[in-house]
Structure 1
């Protein structure tokens, strides 16, 4: 009990501190950013073919006897909630500071924060839609998708192909990925700055790396729906 009680004041002190919340945003952002690279690598297996992609999907759902995917989801969801909540809190604090002490730099910082928060909320809405669409399978029940190579398992590859044959779904996906990568290109630079890894000398390199990473993530992810809808891949 004493150890649990001692944890809550520490959490409260971190949250009440501006630096603490910035660190939470940076660290959770780092986890989510690295996850995107792994998620993209797995998704690109759709181009290898049905068997490879379904093997990958099966591995994820049976990792650590089925618990692995839920542990990963819990960690990612926790990071996402903390990231969004801390960002909203910092944005509100910046807005209050702007009203109390208005100058050009503060106004510019506030506008940048507002862009980040609105793009972040749009991304959150997309993530909920994406989970309902492909993870919870609201639109695509397992009974409707059986792997023709192995009828006992779910045809995740077929679900992805089917899902991206709808123009509105693809449009929403591309817009959301554009916002996500805009968020990343600014957020990764801020993350390095918060963690004390950015200096005047390293700033141009970190900016180039952040933008380059965002570009790779954007084109990597949208290559799948565009290939399916526009070029008829898998159909």
Structure 2
């Protein structure tokens, strides 16, 4: 009993617990910020169904946003910088929390009971790697135009149509794999964020699971609708 009391009153233990809570809040906050960006970006992508002029105009509007206070593309660079900081902070918090979780279980048993968890939770690591590789490719493809067949920053519609043309089915396949990974990552991440922010009762957890699933399905469907519309000739 004295040992338990000592642990509870140990300042180092309390600081570590407080630090872990702060890391979870950081991970949840940055995750929410990234989710909001993903949905805003998806809404912009869906303008491709309105037509070439509307989509190209949207691309130009993003480049001119903030003018004359900001130089052309200034808003986009501020956005990229903010997203980079959010991603790095998110990864930092995730890695540190994972290390602490492993340190709290230093003894490895020969036969451990199977951990009950969702498929998304068990694939967060490799899903994160796929997402990271996809982000790098996506930047080189549709941001800088380095690996895009057209690569014209002034005509984003032509870039997208050329990118997901039937002859480039492998790009669509990789895009699909990455977006599905994002969906699994998002489902688990939103659920974890909602739990961190207070949805911890049985009813709250069920609600959080439903919200996380619905948002991830909407996001995956919205993002995949564009490449498959190009692949099938609906958008050309």
TM value normalised by structure 2: 0.81
Structure showing greater radius of gyration is 2
Give the Å deviation of 1:114.
5.4
Match of 2:135 among 127, 130, 133: 127
**Partner residue of 1:162?**
162
| Counterparts of residues 50-69 of structure 1 (less than 5 Å) | 50-65=52-67, 66=72, 67-69=74-76
| Higher helix fraction (1 or 2) | 1
| Counterparts of residues 42-81 of structure 1 (less than 5 Å) | 42-65=44-67, 66=72, 67-81=74-88
Distance 2:90 2:175 in 1: 21
1:156-196 deviation digits (Å, cap 9, x = unpaired): 10100101111111000000000100011111010011112
**Partner residue of 2:189?**
187
**Partner residue of 2:40?**
38
**Conserved 8 A contact 1:14-1:20:** no
Give the Å deviation of 1:101.
7.5
Secondary structure of the equivalent of 1:64?
coil
Distance 1:35 1:195 in 2: 20
**Partner residue of 1:8?**
none
**Partner residue of 2:215?**
213
Give the Å deviation of 1:121.
2.1
Give the Å deviation of 1:60.
0.7
Structure 1: state its 5+ residue gaps.
1-12, 146-152
Match of 1:99 among 103, 106, 110: 106
Q: 1:14 to 1:156 in 2, by over 3 A?
A: farther
Give the Å deviation of 1:233.
2.8
**Does residue 139 of the first structure (1) align with residue 147 of the second (2)?**
yes
Deviation >2 Å, runs of 4+: 13-16, 95-105, 111-115, 139-142
**Conserved 8 A contact 1:28-1:79:** yes
Q: 1:27 to 1:14 in 2, by over 3 A?
A: farther
**Conserved 8 A contact 2:30-2:87:** yes
Structure 2: state its 5+ residue gaps.
1-14
**Does residue 87 of the first structure (1) align with residue 94 of the second (2)?**
yes
TM value normalised by structure 1: 0.82
- Root mean square deviation, CA, Å: 2.6
**Conserved 8 A contact 2:120-2:184:** no
Give the Å deviation of 1:118.
2.2
**Conserved 8 A contact 2:30-2:89:** yes
